[in-house]
C-alpha cells in the first residue's frame, strides 16, 4: 500500500469544504468571539493589567479559539477511528460466518455491501461501493484508496490485505480465517496501548486538577485578604472584586470538560469495557452516594433559601468576603460523597 495519509491530511479531506472556506466561515468567527471575550475580560481587570500584559491577555483568547478550530477536525478524525475500530471485531465475526455459508460463493464486494449497520464503518464500506459502482474502479484499487484516507490504521491494513487477497484469488473463507487471528493480535495490542494511555491521562488529570484547586484556594484568599473598597450591594462591583475567583473557576471548569472529552476519545466505547448492566456492589454504593448527595444538597438549598427569604440577599452581598465562599462551599459539599467513594474505588 502506498503511504497512508497523515491525520491532518485525512482531517482536511473530511472537512467537506476547502480549507480556506473552513478558516473563513468557522475559524474567523470563532476567533472574533474569542477576541471579544478577551477584551471583556481585560476590561474587568484593566485596573490591574496594563501595557504589554494587557495586549497579551487580549490576544490569548482568540489564539486559543483559533487553535481549537484547528484541533477540532483532528479530534473528529480520532473519534471516527475509534468508532470504526469498536465495530471491527463484530464485522470480522460476521464476515467469517457469511464466508462459510452460501455467501462464500458470492463476490467479496457483494458481501461487503450487506454490512450497512456499522455506523462509521458502514460509511467506509459505502465509499468503496461508490468508487466501484459509480467511478468504475476495480475493487482492490478502491479498497486501497479508501484505506489510505481512513482514520483507522487497523481498517487501512485490513483493506490493503483484502485488496491483495482479491487480486491473487484467495478464497474468502480462508482469507477471513487468517484475518481473525490477525485481528485478535491487533486488538490485544490496541487495548494494552489504550490502558497505558488511560493511566497517563489519569495521572495528568489528577495533577492538573490539584493545580486548579490550589489556584482556586489562592484566588479565594486573594479575594478575602486583599480586595478592599466601600461596602456595596451592586452586583457588578461584586463580580469585579471576585474577578480572579470567577476567572479561575471558569478555567477550572474548562479543564474538567476538556479532560472528559479526552477520556471519551481514549476509552473504547464498548459495553463490557466501561459500562454494563450488572448490579455490582460498587454500582449500588455509587447510586446510594448520589441519592445521599441529592438529599443533602436539597437540604442545603432549602436552608440557604430560607435564610435569604428571612434576612434578604443583602446579608450575602454586603458581607461577600465572609459568606460568599461559604455558600459556594456548602452547595458543593454534598458532592464529597460520590467523590470519596470514587477515590476509595480507585485506590
Per-residue pLDDT tens over the stretch 192-239:
887 888 888 888 888 888 988 888 888 888 777 766 556 655 666 666
d(CA 162, CA 159): 5
pLDDT grade, residue 277 (50/70/90)? Answer: low
Q: In whole angstroms, how far apart are CA 98 and each of 152, 154, 344? A: 24, 21, 47
Q: Which pLDDT value is given to residue 105?
A: 45
316 domain residue, yes or no: yes
Instruction: Choose from 27-36, 148-157, 193-202 the range with maximum mean pLDDT.
Output: 27-36
Instruction: Choose from 172-176, 203-207, 238-242, 306-310 the range with maximum mean pLDDT.
Output: 203-207
Q: Which residues neighbour 99 within 8 Å (Cβ) at sequence distance 6 or greater? A: 111, 172, 173, 175, 176
pLDDT grade, residue 263 (50/70/90)? Answer: confident
User: Residues 103-120: pLDDT tens digits?
Assistant: 544 545 555 555 556 678
Average pLDDT estimate for 132-142 = 85
Better-scored residue on pLDDT, 225 or 290: 290
Longest CA–CA span in the chain (Å) reads 87
| Cβ proximity of 242 and 320 under 8 Å | yes
320 domain residue, yes or no: yes
Q: Which pLDDT value is given to residue 4?
A: 78
Domain boundary (147, 171, 188) is at: 188
| Cβ proximity of 89 and 118 under 8 Å | no
347 domain residue, yes or no: yes
d(CA 143, CA 124): 9
- What is the CB neighbour count within 10 angstroms for residue 324? 19
Q: Which pLDDT value is given to residue 337?
A: 87
Average pLDDT estimate for 282-301 = 88
18 domain residue, yes or no: no
Query: Whole-number mean pLDDT of the chain?
Result: 80
211 domain residue, yes or no: no
Note if the pTM is more than 0.85.
no
Average pLDDT estimate for 263-269 = 73
Domain boundary (173, 188, 203) is at: 188
Enclosing H/E stretch for 169: none
254 domain residue, yes or no: no
Better-scored residue on pLDDT, 271 or 147: 147
Q: Which domain holds residue 104?
A: 86-188
d(CA 166, CA 107): 9
Q: In whole angstroms, how far apart are CA 243 and each of 150, 208, 226? A: 46, 21, 13
d(CA 279, CA 293): 20
The number of folded domains in the chain is 2
Domain boundary (188, 221, 244) is at: 188
d(CA 149, CA 137): 16
Q: Which residues neighbour 155 within 8 Å (Cβ) at sequence distance 6 or greater? A: 84, 85, 88, 121, 124, 147
Q: Which of 161-165, 182-186, 208-212 has the lowest mean pLDDT?
A: 182-186
Amino acid at each position: 500500500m502506498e503511504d497512508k495519509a497523515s491525520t491532518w491530511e485525512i482531517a482536511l479531506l473530511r472537512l467537506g469544504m476547502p480549507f480556506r472556506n473552513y478558516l473563513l466561515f468557522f475559524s474567523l468567527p470563532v476567533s472574533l468571539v474569542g477576541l471579544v471575550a478577551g477584551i471583556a475580560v481585560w476590561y474587568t481587570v484593566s485596573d490591574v493589567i496594563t501595557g504589554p500584559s494587557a495586549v497579551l491577555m487580549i490576544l490569548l483568547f482568540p489564539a486559543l479559539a483559533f487553535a481549537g478550530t484547528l484541533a477540532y477536525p483532528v479530534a473528529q478524525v480520532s473519534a471516527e477511528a475509534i468508532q470504526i475500530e469498536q465495530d471491527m471485531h463484530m464485522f470480522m465475526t460476521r464476515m467469517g460466518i457469511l464466508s462459510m455459508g452460501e455467501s462464500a460463493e458470492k463476490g467479496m464486494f457483494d458481501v461487503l455491501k450487506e454490512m450497512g449497520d456499522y455506523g462509521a464503518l458502514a460509511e467506509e464500506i459505502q465509499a468503496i461501493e461508490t468508487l466501484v459502482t459509480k467511478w468504475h474502479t476495480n475493487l482492490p484499487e478502491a479498497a486501497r484508496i479508501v484505506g489510505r484516507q481512513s482514520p483507522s490504521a487497523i481498517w487501512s491494513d485490513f483493506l490493503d490485505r483484502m485488496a491483495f487477497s482479491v487480486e491473487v484469488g484467495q478464497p474468502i473463507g480462508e482469507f477471513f480465517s487468517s484475518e481473525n487471528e490477525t485481528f485478535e493480535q491487533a486488538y490485544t495490542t490496541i487495548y494494552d496501548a489504550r490502558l497505558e494511555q488511560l493511566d497517563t491521562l489519569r495521572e495528568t488529570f489528577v495533577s492538573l486538577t490539584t493545580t486548579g484547586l490550589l489556584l482556586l484556594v489562592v484566588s479565594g484568599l486573594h479575594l478575602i485578604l486583599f480586595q478592599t473598597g466601600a461596602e456595596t450591594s451592586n452586583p457588578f462591583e461584586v463580580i469585579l472584586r471576585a474577578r480572579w475567583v470567577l476567572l479561575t473557576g471558569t478555567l477550572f471548569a474548562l479543564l474538567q470538560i476538556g479532560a472528559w472529552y479526552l477520556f471519551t476519545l481514549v476509552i473504547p466505547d464498548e459495553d463490557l469495557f466501561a459500562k454494563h448492566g450488572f448490579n455490582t456492589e460498587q454500582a449500588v454504593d455509587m447510586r446510594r452516594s448520589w441519592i445521599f448527595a441529592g438529599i443533602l444538597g436539597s437540604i442545603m438549598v432549602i436552608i440557604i433559601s430560607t435564610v435569604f427569604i428571612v434576612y434578604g440577599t443583602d446579608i450575602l452581598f454586603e458581607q461577600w468576603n465572609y459568606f460568599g465562599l461559604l455558600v459556594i462551599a456548602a452547595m458543593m459539599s454534598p458532592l464529597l460523597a460520590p467523590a470519596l467513594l470514587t477515590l476509595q474505588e480507585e485506590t
